[in-house]
Amino acid sequence: MRPAARDVARLPAHVAIIMDGNGRWARAKGLPRTEGHRRGVQTLRDIVRHAGEVGVRYLTLYSFSSENWSRPLEEVQTLMLLLKVFVRRDLAELVSSNVQVRVIGERSDLPADILGLLEEAETRTAGNDGLTLVVAFNYGARNEIARAMRSIATDIAAGRLSADSVTEATIGERLDTAGIPDPDLIIRTSGEQRLSNFLLWQAAYAEFYFSPVLWPDFSADHFDDALEAFYARDRRFGGLKVGAEV
Protein backbone atom coordinates (compact mmCIF):
# COMPACT_ATOMS: atom_id res chain seq x y z
CA MET A 1 0.00 0.00 0.00
CA ARG A 2 1.37 3.43 -0.92
CA PRO A 3 1.53 5.59 2.24
CA ALA A 4 0.09 8.59 0.35
CA ALA A 5 -3.05 6.59 -0.38
CA ARG A 6 -3.65 6.02 3.30
CA ASP A 7 -4.82 9.39 4.45
CA VAL A 8 -7.07 8.21 7.26
CA ALA A 9 -8.64 11.61 7.91
CA ARG A 10 -9.76 12.05 4.29
CA LEU A 11 -10.34 8.45 3.28
CA PRO A 12 -13.63 8.02 1.37
CA ALA A 13 -15.99 6.02 3.59
CA HIS A 14 -17.74 4.53 0.57
CA VAL A 15 -16.13 3.68 -2.78
CA ALA A 16 -18.29 2.29 -5.58
CA ILE A 17 -16.84 0.72 -8.72
CA ILE A 18 -18.22 0.10 -12.20
CA MET A 19 -15.99 -2.79 -13.24
CA ASP A 20 -15.79 -2.31 -17.01
CA GLY A 21 -13.61 -3.62 -19.81
CA ASN A 22 -13.55 -7.38 -19.28
CA GLY A 23 -14.68 -8.03 -22.85
CA ARG A 24 -12.11 -5.70 -24.41
CA TRP A 25 -9.36 -7.17 -22.24
CA ALA A 26 -10.20 -10.63 -23.54
CA ARG A 27 -10.53 -9.52 -27.16
CA ALA A 28 -7.14 -7.80 -27.04
CA LYS A 29 -5.63 -11.15 -26.00
CA GLY A 30 -7.59 -13.21 -28.53
CA LEU A 31 -9.55 -14.88 -25.70
CA PRO A 32 -13.30 -15.42 -25.32
CA ARG A 33 -15.16 -12.62 -23.46
CA THR A 34 -15.98 -15.05 -20.68
CA GLU A 35 -12.24 -15.33 -19.94
CA GLY A 36 -12.22 -11.57 -19.32
CA HIS A 37 -14.94 -12.01 -16.71
CA ARG A 38 -13.03 -14.85 -15.07
CA ARG A 39 -9.93 -12.66 -14.81
CA GLY A 40 -12.21 -9.85 -13.57
CA VAL A 41 -13.21 -11.93 -10.55
CA GLN A 42 -9.53 -12.22 -9.58
CA THR A 43 -9.24 -8.43 -9.73
CA LEU A 44 -12.42 -8.18 -7.63
CA ARG A 45 -10.85 -10.39 -4.94
CA ASP A 46 -7.65 -8.30 -4.90
CA ILE A 47 -9.54 -5.01 -4.69
CA VAL A 48 -11.87 -6.20 -1.90
CA ARG A 49 -8.83 -7.26 0.15
CA HIS A 50 -6.99 -4.04 -0.58
CA ALA A 51 -9.95 -1.75 0.16
CA GLY A 52 -10.35 -3.50 3.52
CA GLU A 53 -6.65 -3.07 4.31
CA VAL A 54 -6.72 0.62 3.41
CA GLY A 55 -9.67 1.12 5.76
CA VAL A 56 -12.51 1.89 3.35
CA ARG A 57 -15.79 1.16 5.21
CA TYR A 58 -18.09 0.39 2.23
CA LEU A 59 -17.15 -0.97 -1.19
CA THR A 60 -19.92 -1.35 -3.77
CA LEU A 61 -19.25 -3.38 -6.92
CA TYR A 62 -21.49 -3.33 -10.00
CA SER A 63 -21.39 -7.06 -10.73
CA PHE A 64 -24.44 -7.61 -12.92
CA SER A 65 -26.78 -4.93 -14.16
CA SER A 66 -30.45 -5.43 -14.94
CA GLU A 67 -29.50 -4.65 -18.56
CA ASN A 68 -26.89 -7.44 -18.68
CA TRP A 69 -29.64 -10.04 -19.32
CA SER A 70 -29.60 -8.89 -22.95
CA ARG A 71 -26.09 -10.30 -23.46
CA PRO A 72 -25.61 -13.64 -25.22
CA LEU A 73 -26.90 -16.57 -23.13
CA GLU A 74 -23.43 -18.08 -22.74
CA GLU A 75 -22.10 -14.84 -21.26
CA VAL A 76 -25.06 -14.46 -18.87
CA GLN A 77 -24.56 -18.07 -17.77
CA THR A 78 -20.85 -17.44 -17.18
CA LEU A 79 -21.57 -14.39 -15.04
CA MET A 80 -24.08 -16.41 -12.97
CA LEU A 81 -21.57 -19.25 -12.65
CA LEU A 82 -18.81 -16.85 -11.57
CA LEU A 83 -21.05 -15.47 -8.85
CA LYS A 84 -21.77 -19.00 -7.60
CA VAL A 85 -18.09 -19.93 -7.64
CA PHE A 86 -17.19 -16.65 -5.92
CA VAL A 87 -19.66 -17.20 -3.07
CA ARG A 88 -18.75 -20.88 -2.67
CA ARG A 89 -14.99 -20.32 -2.72
CA ASP A 90 -14.64 -16.94 -1.08
CA LEU A 91 -17.42 -16.79 1.50
CA ALA A 92 -15.35 -18.50 4.19
CA GLU A 93 -12.56 -15.96 3.70
CA LEU A 94 -15.03 -13.05 3.75
CA VAL A 95 -16.51 -14.40 7.00
CA SER A 96 -13.09 -14.75 8.63
CA SER A 97 -11.80 -11.39 7.42
CA ASN A 98 -14.75 -9.63 9.07
CA VAL A 99 -16.37 -8.51 5.78
CA GLN A 100 -20.12 -7.96 5.83
CA VAL A 101 -21.88 -8.69 2.52
CA ARG A 102 -24.96 -6.72 1.43
CA VAL A 103 -26.70 -7.35 -1.87
CA ILE A 104 -28.57 -4.66 -3.78
CA GLY A 105 -30.75 -5.15 -6.86
CA GLU A 106 -33.98 -6.79 -7.95
CA ARG A 107 -34.32 -10.18 -6.28
CA SER A 108 -37.71 -11.27 -7.57
CA ASP A 109 -36.52 -12.51 -10.95
CA LEU A 110 -33.25 -14.17 -9.92
CA PRO A 111 -32.81 -17.93 -10.28
CA ALA A 112 -33.50 -19.65 -6.94
CA ASP A 113 -29.96 -21.05 -6.55
CA ILE A 114 -28.37 -17.62 -7.11
CA LEU A 115 -30.78 -15.96 -4.70
CA GLY A 116 -30.07 -18.66 -2.11
CA LEU A 117 -26.31 -18.08 -2.34
CA LEU A 118 -26.65 -14.31 -2.11
CA GLU A 119 -28.86 -14.67 0.96
CA GLU A 120 -26.42 -17.14 2.48
CA ALA A 121 -23.59 -14.63 1.97
CA GLU A 122 -25.63 -11.94 3.71
CA THR A 123 -26.72 -14.17 6.59
CA ARG A 124 -23.30 -15.66 7.31
CA THR A 125 -21.58 -12.26 7.35
CA ALA A 126 -24.36 -10.31 9.09
CA GLY A 127 -22.48 -10.19 12.40
CA ASN A 128 -19.26 -8.82 10.84
CA ASP A 129 -18.34 -5.18 11.32
CA GLY A 130 -15.32 -4.65 9.08
CA LEU A 131 -15.59 -3.67 5.41
CA THR A 132 -19.15 -3.80 4.06
CA LEU A 133 -19.02 -5.31 0.57
CA VAL A 134 -22.12 -4.21 -1.31
CA VAL A 135 -22.71 -6.51 -4.27
CA ALA A 136 -24.91 -4.88 -6.91
CA PHE A 137 -26.40 -7.89 -8.67
CA ASN A 138 -29.33 -7.67 -11.10
CA TYR A 139 -29.13 -4.02 -10.15
CA GLY A 140 -30.53 -1.02 -11.99
CA ALA A 141 -31.01 2.30 -10.23
CA ARG A 142 -34.28 3.15 -11.97
CA ASN A 143 -35.69 -0.24 -10.98
CA GLU A 144 -34.53 0.36 -7.39
CA ILE A 145 -36.18 3.81 -7.32
CA ALA A 146 -39.39 2.43 -8.87
CA ARG A 147 -39.56 -0.30 -6.18
CA ALA A 148 -39.07 2.32 -3.46
CA MET A 149 -41.83 4.46 -4.98
CA ARG A 150 -44.18 1.47 -5.13
CA SER A 151 -43.59 0.72 -1.48
CA ILE A 152 -44.30 4.37 -0.54
CA ALA A 153 -47.44 4.45 -2.74
CA THR A 154 -48.66 1.19 -1.17
CA ASP A 155 -48.24 2.62 2.33
CA ILE A 156 -50.01 5.85 1.37
CA ALA A 157 -52.90 3.92 -0.20
CA ALA A 158 -53.20 1.80 2.94
CA GLY A 159 -53.22 4.90 5.16
CA ARG A 160 -49.93 3.98 6.88
CA LEU A 161 -48.14 7.05 5.51
CA SER A 162 -49.30 10.53 4.57
CA ALA A 163 -48.16 12.00 1.23
CA ASP A 164 -47.10 15.20 2.99
CA SER A 165 -44.67 13.36 5.20
CA VAL A 166 -42.63 11.90 2.31
CA THR A 167 -39.13 13.38 2.44
CA GLU A 168 -35.77 12.57 0.87
CA ALA A 169 -35.10 10.44 3.95
CA THR A 170 -38.32 8.44 3.36
CA ILE A 171 -37.07 7.58 -0.12
CA GLY A 172 -33.51 6.81 1.06
CA GLU A 173 -34.86 4.39 3.68
CA ARG A 174 -36.73 2.41 1.04
CA LEU A 175 -33.87 2.06 -1.41
CA ASP A 176 -31.82 -1.16 -1.36
CA THR A 177 -28.97 0.88 0.11
CA ALA A 178 -30.94 1.86 3.25
CA GLY A 179 -28.49 2.44 6.10
CA ILE A 180 -25.46 2.65 3.77
CA PRO A 181 -23.94 6.13 3.38
CA ASP A 182 -23.91 7.60 -0.14
CA PRO A 183 -20.78 6.81 -2.17
CA ASP A 184 -18.04 9.43 -1.84
CA LEU A 185 -16.09 8.16 -4.82
CA ILE A 186 -17.31 6.29 -7.90
CA ILE A 187 -14.63 4.67 -10.04
CA ARG A 188 -15.29 3.43 -13.58
CA THR A 189 -12.61 1.51 -15.41
CA SER A 190 -11.93 1.09 -19.15
CA GLY A 191 -12.20 4.73 -20.17
CA GLU A 192 -16.00 4.87 -20.41
CA GLN A 193 -17.48 7.94 -18.77
CA ARG A 194 -21.08 6.99 -17.99
CA LEU A 195 -23.09 6.10 -14.91
CA SER A 196 -25.05 3.34 -16.69
CA ASN A 197 -28.02 3.27 -14.29
CA PHE A 198 -25.76 2.83 -11.23
CA LEU A 199 -26.68 4.44 -7.87
CA LEU A 200 -28.50 7.36 -9.54
CA TRP A 201 -30.07 8.63 -6.30
CA GLN A 202 -27.05 7.93 -4.10
CA ALA A 203 -24.49 9.51 -6.48
CA ALA A 204 -25.83 13.06 -5.94
CA TYR A 205 -22.55 14.34 -4.45
CA ALA A 206 -20.13 11.59 -5.43
CA GLU A 207 -16.77 12.36 -6.98
CA PHE A 208 -16.11 10.48 -10.22
CA TYR A 209 -12.83 8.90 -11.22
CA PHE A 210 -12.48 7.44 -14.69
CA SER A 211 -9.55 5.11 -15.23
CA PRO A 212 -8.44 4.04 -18.71
CA VAL A 213 -7.32 0.68 -17.29
CA LEU A 214 -9.44 -2.35 -18.23
CA TRP A 215 -10.91 -4.04 -15.14
CA PRO A 216 -8.85 -7.27 -15.33
CA ASP A 217 -5.67 -5.12 -15.25
CA PHE A 218 -6.90 -2.82 -12.45
CA SER A 219 -4.59 -3.24 -9.45
CA ALA A 220 -4.27 -2.07 -5.86
CA ASP A 221 -1.91 0.59 -7.20
CA HIS A 222 -4.60 1.88 -9.57
CA PHE A 223 -7.05 1.93 -6.67
CA ASP A 224 -4.56 4.05 -4.73
CA ASP A 225 -4.29 6.42 -7.73
CA ALA A 226 -8.07 6.92 -7.46
CA LEU A 227 -7.79 7.63 -3.72
CA GLU A 228 -5.06 10.21 -4.33
CA ALA A 229 -7.16 11.89 -7.02
CA PHE A 230 -10.06 11.95 -4.54
CA TYR A 231 -7.93 13.68 -1.88
CA ALA A 232 -7.11 16.41 -4.38
CA ARG A 233 -10.79 17.20 -5.01
CA ASP A 234 -12.52 20.11 -3.36
CA ARG A 235 -15.86 18.82 -2.10
CA ARG A 236 -18.36 21.54 -1.31
CA PHE A 237 -21.73 19.75 -1.39
CA GLY A 238 -23.34 22.83 -2.94
CA GLY A 239 -21.91 25.17 -0.30
CA LEU A 240 -18.85 27.40 -0.36
CA LYS A 241 -15.28 26.39 0.20
CA VAL A 242 -14.26 27.11 3.80
CA GLY A 243 -12.61 30.55 3.87
CA ALA A 244 -14.23 31.66 0.60
CA GLU A 245 -17.16 33.50 2.18
CA VAL A 246 -15.71 36.99 1.65
Residue numbers annotated as active site: 20, 68
Of the ranges 78-86, 106-114, 176-184, 218-226, which one interacts with ligand FPP (CB under 6 A)? Answer: 78-86
The mark string for 207-236 relative to ligand FPP (x by CB under 6 A, - otherwise) is --------x---------------------
Burial class (CB in 10 A: 0-12, 13-18, 19+), 147: middle
Convert residues 39-68 into a mask of x (bound to ligand FPP by CB under 6 A) and - (unbound): -xx--x------------------xx---x
In degrees and rounded to multiples of 5, residue 140 shows phi and psi of -150, 130
- Residue pair 135/94 in contact (Cβ under 8 Å)? The answer is no
Q: How far is the CB of 71 from ligand FPP (least distance, A)?
A: 8
What's the number of CA atoms in the CB half-sphere (13 Å) around residue 182? Answer: 14
Contacts with 91 (C-beta within 8 Å, 6 or more apart), sequence order: 120, 121, 124, 125
| Least spacing, CB of residue 55 vs ligand FPP, in Å | 23
The site that binds ligand FPP (CB under 6 A) totals a number of residues, namely 19
Torsion of Cα atoms, 137 then 141 then 146 then 148, to 10°? 80
Interface region with ligand FPP, contact rule CB under 6 A, candidates 19-27, 94-102, 147-155, 175-183: 19-27
CA distances in angstroms from 82 to 89, 182, 194, listed in the order given: 10, 27, 25
In the region spanning residues 172 to 191, those forming contacts with ligand FPP, defined by CB under 6 A, are 190
Toward ligand FPP, which CB reaches closer, 11 or 41? 41
Among 16, 56, 83, 114, binds ligand FPP (CB under 6 A): 83
Q: Which residues bind ligand FPP (CB under 6 A)?
A: 19-24, 37, 40-41, 44, 63-64, 68, 79, 82-83, 86, 190, 215
